[in-house]
Structure formats: C-alpha cells, structure tokens
C-alpha cells in the first residue's frame, strides 16, 4: 500500500461527502475487476440527496458548472468510501470521462471537468490523482444535471 494517505488529504480539504447515490436503473455504481475499480457515471448529488441541475450556457454559468463537476467528484468519492471503506484503497486515478450538458456554442468543457480533476489531485496528489481525461459536450443528461463523470482507478494490492 502507498504511503500517501488519501483519507487524511480529503479530511484536510474541509469538504463533505454527499450520500452515495443508489442506482436508478439496471447498473452497478462501481465494479472491482482485479486491481481496477470502475465507477459508473456520477452526477452532482447534494447533501440532501437532491441533484444540482442546469444546462451550462443556458441557465448555469461557467463557475457553477465547475463546482457541479467538483460535486460529482465528491459523489464519486462517497461511492468509493461506501463500497470500499477507504479512499486509501485507490492507488491512482487512471481515466476520467466527463460529459457536460451544455448549449451547442459552449466550448470550455475541459474547464468544467477540472472541478473533478482538481479534487482528485487534491486527494491523491498530482502523481496519482491526475489522470488521462476526456471532456465532451452533450445535448442533455439525465434529470438535466450539468455534468456526469465516470472514472477508472487502479487499486492498491
């Protein structure tokens, strides 16, 4: 196991994990396969289990979108904590795929998804928390959430 303590780093952030979401369809929120953890797409869940909603470029701005991506990242951390017991089970983030619900004219998808990427770098450090990444714009997302993010992680032995 690595000496970097992700649980301690998260505690230092002063942020709070929302409740881990329960599936609203036929899928698994996470799946461990050998040394890999796959997380299904996560939206921005708030402390009261409600969702942040809004389309970027229409009724949600750039900074609100970035905060929604951070909230989606917090929701992902909650899923890891709930299903694996500790953020320390993750060795590194391998891939982040972010979808941004936005108007056709919007072009700053990577900036929005940085909200999640910056959180992961804060928790696992820049060596293990910065992953390969895609950030794309889409015409809609479930329940009109501004972002949906999925990720692949490598687990500690």
Q: Of residues 16 and 157, which shows the higher confidence score?
A: 16
Q: What CATH number has the domain bearing residue 80? A: 3.30.1330.40
**Domain-located, residue 23:** no
Q: What is the pLDDT of residue 136?
A: 98
CA dist 146 and 99 (Å) reads: 8
CA dist 69 and 84 (Å) reads: 22
**Domain-located, residue 91:** yes
**Domain-located, residue 118:** yes
For the segment 68-124, what is each residue's pLDDT rounded down to a tens digit? 999 999 999 999 999 999 999 999 999 999 999 999 999 999 999 999 999 999 999
Q: Is 50 exposed, middle or buried (0-12, 13-18, 19+ CB in 10 A)?
A: exposed
**Domain-located, residue 105:** yes
Q: What is the pLDDT of residue 115?
A: 98
**Domain-located, residue 16:** no
Which residue segment(s) compose the domain that 151 sits in? 30-155
**Domain-located, residue 25:** no
Distances in whole angstroms, Cα of residue 44 to Cα of each of 50, 72, 106: 9, 4, 20
CA dist 92 and 80 (Å) reads: 13
Q: What is the pLDDT of residue 62?
A: 97
For the segment 121-133, what is each residue's pLDDT rounded down to a tens digit? 999 999 999 999 9
**Domain-located, residue 1:** no
Tell me if residue 41 falls in helix, strand or coil: strand
CA dist 43 and 85 (Å) reads: 21
Q: What is the pLDDT of residue 1?
A: 44
Q: How many domains does the chain have?
A: 1
Average confidence score pLDDT of the chain: 96
Contacts of 91 (CB under 8 A, 6+ apart): 2, 35, 128, 153, 154, 155, 156
Going by pLDDT thresholds of 50, 70 and 90, the confidence category of residue 3 is: low
Going by pLDDT thresholds of 50, 70 and 90, the confidence category of residue 157 is: confident
Q: What is the pLDDT of residue 108?
A: 98
Q: What is the pLDDT of residue 4?
A: 81
| Tokens matching residue 48 | 């009261």
Contacts of 3 (CB under 8 A, 6+ apart): none
**Domain-located, residue 127:** yes
For the segment 23-76, what is each residue's pLDDT rounded down to a tens digit? 989 999 999 999 999 999 999 999 999 999 999 999 999 999 999 999 999 999
């Amino acid at each position: 196991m690595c000496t970097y303590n992700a649980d301690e780093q998260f505690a230092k952030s002063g942020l709070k994990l929302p409740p881990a979401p329960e599936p609203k369809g036929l899928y698994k929120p996470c799946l461990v396969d050998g040394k890999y953890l796959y997380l299904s797409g996560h939206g921005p869940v708030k402390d009261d289990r409600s969702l942040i909603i809004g389309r970027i470029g229409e009724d949600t701005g750039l900074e609100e979108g970035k905060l929604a991506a951070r909230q989606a990242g917090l929701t992902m951390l909650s899923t890891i904590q709930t299903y694996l017991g500790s953020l320390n089970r993750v060795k590194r983030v391998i891939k982040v795929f972010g979808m941004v619900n936005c108007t056709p004219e919007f072009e700053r998808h990577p900036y929005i998804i940085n909200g999640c990427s910056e959180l992961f770098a804060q928790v696992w450090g820049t060596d293990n928390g910065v992953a390969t990444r895609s950030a794309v714009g889409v015409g809609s997302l479930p329940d009109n959430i501004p972002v949906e993010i999925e990720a692949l992680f490598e687990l500690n032995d």
